[in-house]
Amino acid sequence: MVIITYTLIGLYAFLTGIAGMKQWKEVGYHVQALLFMIVSICILVILFIPSKDWLFLLLILGFILLHILAIVQGILKNGRLMCSHHIIRFIFHCIIALMVYKFIK
């Protein structure tokens, strides 16, 4: 389960970074796209922290930042929030946080 947890976090951060890069190419320089890429890279770096406590706390912080960025992005791009998107994102973040808490030693 440790490998699955690390893989899910890494894949999630990687795909979020790719989405930020794609948005940057389509729209041009954009602070939100840059912040998505920076937070994604930070989450990938966080995976190499050996302390479970620091890993857990920094991942929670990274997930909160990603969620705030997604809310801002939704408001700026669509003019409204997609509640289902944010609920699914929140549930996924909670599942990953629980997996880290339970399985990472």
Residue range 34-48: mean pLDDT, rounded: 93
Q: Confidence band (pLDDT; 50, 70, 90) for 41?
A: very high
pLDDT in tens, 79-104: 888 888 889 999 999 999 999 999 88
Distances (CA, A) of 104 to 48, 67, 95: 12, 23, 13
pTM: 0.86
Long-range Cβ pairs for the range 67-70 (8 Å, 24+): 67/93, 69/32, 69/35, 69/36, 69/39
pLDDT at 38 over 90: yes
- pLDDT mean over 38-60: 93
